[in-house]
Amino acid sequence: MAVENKIMLITYADSLGKNLKELKEVLKEHFAKAVGGVHILPFFPSSADRGFAPMEYERVDPQFGSMEDVRALSREHYLMFDFMVNHISKSSKYFQDFQEKKDASQYWDFFIRYKDFWTGGEPTQEQVDLIYKRKPRAPYIEVEFQDGTREKVWCTFCEEQIDLNVGAPAVKRFIKDTLVSMCKNGASIIRLDAFAYAVKKENTNCFFVEPEIWDLLHEIERVVEPYGVMILPEIHEHYTIQHKIAQKGFWIYDFALPVLVLNALYTGNGKYLKQWLDQSPMKQFTTLDTHDGIGIVDVKDLMPDDEVERTKESMFTKGANVKKIYNTAAYNNLDVYQVNCTYYSALGNRDQAYLLARAIQFFAPGIPMVYYVGLLAGENDIALMEETKNGRDINRHYYTKEEVARQLERKVVRDLRDLMEFRNQCPAFDLNGTCKTTAEGGRLEIVREYQGHKAVLKADLKSFAFTIETQG
């Protein structure tokens, strides 16, 4: 199914119902007009990180269903799949074979071996300091092979997520075969997870390395283009990287919007939000919430540093059950580049504030994405997070079909659904139209227009009251 200008739901295969069949039932029964697309978070067999350490892409994890269940969803909704272009599971057949046979393995060059990558076999401290990393040291794990020898292999994230050597011919074949399979099994969009980390080069920060990263992006584009499938690089960093990608004609994420909207609602001032909306392209997917935390790094230089810090601190003081400890090593977080919290709880579990936040998102340029917890105005799940000691699980509640139905008894959830249906059906939101924003004092106005159709959002950022008017 072709991508439509309708709201995309982000969900795990087992979070709105226990599997893909139940997810399809929930959408058909409750959200048929509200949800156009579905980003099914990784549904392949995985060893860690709730799907983001894939062992293979040939089949669906049996606990979620089958590939036919995925294709059935694709007949009613445009779908986005995840491809972890940067890494694969330590438990995959590829790494297991490499660990067993070492240089005799057909996957001997699948991974980035320190001895081959670095001149002299090891990085200098200066080279380590230069790397854009998520660990307080050089990004590697020490692999013990079956013959008893040991070797360092590149590992950016957790130890179950081993980085791929994307320049190796065998990996290029793997990437192509995987992408083609996704295209044939119902993907309309393929999300390139951790894309900016995929290309490594000595004496660089190994993050969005140019021009090589563009070569990789275009290689992937050429594979999926014959199938009419889009690609969406996932990058959490300075907004200029996103805009650079947009300038080359690719779709991008708007990861800055969540914090800018929070800032506007915390302070009653839409100044920085307006500045951002004025420069935002239409060819993007907007977010307020995802399976990760609320990103801080994405908003740098869109507000003064002290304003960014003020907004981050306000999440802990104005949010509901948001604590700094949830963003520390005690809950498996190495740094605070994201705040772990549901968006509803970031706004203090206040219905009106939350609905206004969504209205702003739906009026912003691009196609909105709504995370499943946000779809149900979900509060922080402290119990799940304490059970797993994973800070991000605060925003990863498992809803049964029955629980979804109960949540729809809440007015805020029904009102949000109505807003989503309005956004999907109103012609003023055509991506070839215009978006104009005015922010004066505590007042915010966003006007969307297309071929005689107009939709106007008028909001009081201090009281959270808002109206929507339409013409045409």
CA–CA dist 411, 96 (Å, integer): 51
Q: What three-state secondary structure class fits 284?
A: strand
Q: Where are the alpha helices (DSSP H) in 226-364?
A: 239-247, 257-267, 271-279, 305-318, 343-346, 351-363
Strands 87-89 and 252-254: what pairing? unpaired
The residues that bridge with 11 in the sheet, in sequence order, are 40
Residue 283 · residue 365 · CB < 8 Å: no
The Cα-based distances of 49 to 42, 157, 392 in angstroms read 10, 10, 10
Residue 159 · residue 90 · CB < 8 Å: yes
Q: Which of 358, 343, 231 is nearest to 290 (CA)?
A: 343
**Residue 193 known to be catalytic:** yes
The one catalytic residue among 61, 82, 193, 289: 193
Residue 117 · residue 138 · CB < 8 Å: no
Q: How many helices and strands in the chain, by DSSP H and E?
A: 17, 18
CA–CA dist 250, 293 (Å, integer): 24
The one catalytic residue among 234, 298, 393, 449: 234
Q: Which of 272, 251, 252 is nearest to 262 (CA)?
A: 272
DSSP per-residue codes, 205-249: -SSS-TTHHHHHHHHHHHHHGGGT-EEEE---S-HHHHHHHHHTT
Helix H or strand E encompassing 191: strand 187-192
**Residue 142 known to be catalytic:** no
Q: What three-state secondary structure class fits 189?
A: strand
Q: Report the catalytic residues.
A: 193, 234
